[in-house]
């Protein structure tokens, strides 16, 4: 009896062991193959990139700006700069806080409410018909919670620059807000390690010197070209400095962070040199420049000018891991926000169902 009992125990154990071995083998077969790493060459600048470089022809240009910006400013321009006050430190402070993962609406609202004019400007804007909020917002904390940091920060920058006399034209205002929205979106989706707050700032401020030039310096005989490269050449010829370099000088005088200053100064470089070259001469700003220049061109194209694709090379799109086509930059996720900005600026679009009755009073 005992032997039979022992025999059956051994048989049972053997069967169990067999089943376990079979299950382990089957599981091993079904285990997914290790994930292939994403194509690193998109986010790398090296001489080994296996890319079709036919796009390189676009960098053969008859004129390019000087990468060594003049240390001295032409006298006439200097006089203009001297009349501009320094921008409020709230802009720089908010810009740096937006990159902080521990940011909270309480802290930001504390910063904003120190200025009564800024507070009422934000509340007036937030309660404008364009946000279509169901309830009236009567404090900055709720405004931040409802609209988000980026939206509030854009309004802050607009009020602060306007306060020191830099009031952009309608078109410039829309361009800055569109660029800023697209750039913030790209910084999040491309995941190349660029802070959204920095991109919002750059979107809003990159062309600030255009406003200064248009308001304070003699215009050209004809109009400025809509071709952004040609416009830089015209500005350099006419004023001895272009708006990118002048923007950098203003940002430096306002004691903004060095990285921001450089990105403003260099924001047109991607239209003239390949990403690999810019990565070599300005490795600390190449990511910001790639996102900013792609957003800049997409914003121009979105507003009205059909210039997408011919100013920024495919290498920059690859660098930020995007396809070089407008659908990969302006996605349905942001088109509602972009449309709202366009309408706020008074640009009506016959295709939209969100047309307001009148354009907003922005100031």
Q: Binding segment for Fe ion among 77-85, 154-162, 291-299, 310-318 (CB under 5 A)? A: 291-299
Nearest residue (CB) to Fe ion, 190 versus 293: 293
Nearest residue (CB) to Fe ion, 207 versus 315: 207
CB of 276 to Fe ion, least distance (A): 22
How many residues appear in the chain?
Answer: 363
CB of 129 to Fe ion, least distance (A): 28
Nearest residue (CB) to Fe ion, 144 versus 247: 247
Report the alpha-carbon distance of residue 111 to residue 347 in Å, rounded: 33
Residues 242, 236: contact at Cβ < 8 Å? yes
Query: Which pair of structure tokens corresponds to residue 185?
Result: 């979106």
314 near Fe ion (CB under 5 A) = no
CB of 238 to Fe ion, least distance (A): 15
Site string for Fe ion, 199-228 (x = CB under 5 A): --------x---------------------
CB of 279 to Fe ion, least distance (A): 21
Nearest residue (CB) to Fe ion, 197 versus 203: 203
CB of 172 to Fe ion, least distance (A): 9
Nearest residue (CB) to Fe ion, 137 versus 345: 345
Q: Which of 269, 292, 264, 268 is nearest to 279 (CA)?
A: 269
Residues 225, 231: contact at Cβ < 8 Å? yes
Q: Binding segment for Fe ion among 2-10, 86-94, 149-157, 296-304 (CB under 5 A)? A: 296-304
Nearest residue (CB) to Fe ion, 123 versus 166: 166
Q: Binding segment for Fe ion among 44-52, 81-89, 185-193, 295-303 (CB under 5 A)? A: 295-303
Instruction: Give a three-class secondary structure readout of the chain.
Output: CHHHHHHHHHHHHHHHHHHHHHHHHHHHHHCCCCCCCCCHHHHCCCCCCCCCHHHHHHHCCCCCCCCCCCCCCCHHHHHHHHHCCCCCHHHHHHHHHCCCCCCCHHHHHHHHCCCHHHHHHHHHHHCCCCCCCCCCCCCHHHHHHHHCHHHHHHHHHHHHHHHCCCCCCHHHHHHHHHHHHHHHHHHHHHCCCCCHHHHHHHHHHCCHHHHHHHHHCCCCCCCCCCCHHHHHHHHHHHHCCCHHHHHHHHHHHCCCCHHHHHHHHCCCHHHCCCHHHHHHHCCCCHHHHHHHHHHHHHHHHHHCCCCCCCCCCHHHHHHCCCCCCHHHHCCHHHHHHHHHHHHHCCCCCCCCCCCCCCCCCCC
The footprint of Fe ion on residues 152-191 (CB under 5 A) is none
CB of 185 to Fe ion, least distance (A): 16
Nearest residue (CB) to Fe ion, 151 versus 207: 207
Q: Binding segment for Fe ion among 58-66, 82-90, 129-137, 290-298 (CB under 5 A)? A: 290-298
Q: Binding segment for Fe ion among 29-37, 57-65, 152-160, 294-302 (CB under 5 A)? A: 294-302
Nearest residue (CB) to Fe ion, 265 versus 296: 296
CB of 26 to Fe ion, least distance (A): 59
Among 235, 242, 265, 296, binds Fe ion (CB under 5 A): 296
Nearest residue (CB) to Fe ion, 207 versus 314: 207
> How many residues interact with Fe ion (rule CB under 5 A)?
2
User: Which residues of the chain form contacts with Fe ion (CB under 5 A)?
Assistant: 207, 296
């Amino acid at each position: 009896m005992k032997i039979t009992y022992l025999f059956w125990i051994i048989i049972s154990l053997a069967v169990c062991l067999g089943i376990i071995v079979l299950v382990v083998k089957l599981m091993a077969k079904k285990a997914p193959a290790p994930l292939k790493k994403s194509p690193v060459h998109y986010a790398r600048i090296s001489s080994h990139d296996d890319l079709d470089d036919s796009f390189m022809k676009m960098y053969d240009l008859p004129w390019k700006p000087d990468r060594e910006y003049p240390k001295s400013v032409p006298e006439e321009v200097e006089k203009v700069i001297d009349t501009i006050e320094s921008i409020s430190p709230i802009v720089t402070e908010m810009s740096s806080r937006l990159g902080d993962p521990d940011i909270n609406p309480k802290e930001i609202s504390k910063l904003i409410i120190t200025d009564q004019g800024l507070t009422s400007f934000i509340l007036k804007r937030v309660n404008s018909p364009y946000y279509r909020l169901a309830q009236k917002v009567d404090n900055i904390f709720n405004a931040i919670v409802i609209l988000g940091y980026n939206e509030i920060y854009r309004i802050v920058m607009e009020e602060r620059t306007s306060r020191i006399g830099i009031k952009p034209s309608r078109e410039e205002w829309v361009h800055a807000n569109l660029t800023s929205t697209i750039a913030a979106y790209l910084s999040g989706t491309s995941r190349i390690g660029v802070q959204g707050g920095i991109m919002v700032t750059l979107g809003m401020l990159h062309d600030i010197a255009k406003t200064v030039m248009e308001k304070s310096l003699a215009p050209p005989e004809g109009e400025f070209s809509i071709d952004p490269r040609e416009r830089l050449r015209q500005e350099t010829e006419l004023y001895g400095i272009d708006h990118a370099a002048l923007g950098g000088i203003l940002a430096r005088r306002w004691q903004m962070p060095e990285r921001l200053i450089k990105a403003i100064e260099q924001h047109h470089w991607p239209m003239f040199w390949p990403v690999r070259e810019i990565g070599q001469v300005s490795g600390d700003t190449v990511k910001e420049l790639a996102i900013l220049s792609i957003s800049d061109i997409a914003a121009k194209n979105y507003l009205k000018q059909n210039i997408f694709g011919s100013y920024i090379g495919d290498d920059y799109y690859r660098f930020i891991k995007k396809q070089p086509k407008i659908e990969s930059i302006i996605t349905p996720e942001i088109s509602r926000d972009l449309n709202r900005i366009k309408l706020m600026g008074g640009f009506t679009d016959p295709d939209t169902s969100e047309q307001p009755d009148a354009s907003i009073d922005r100031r």
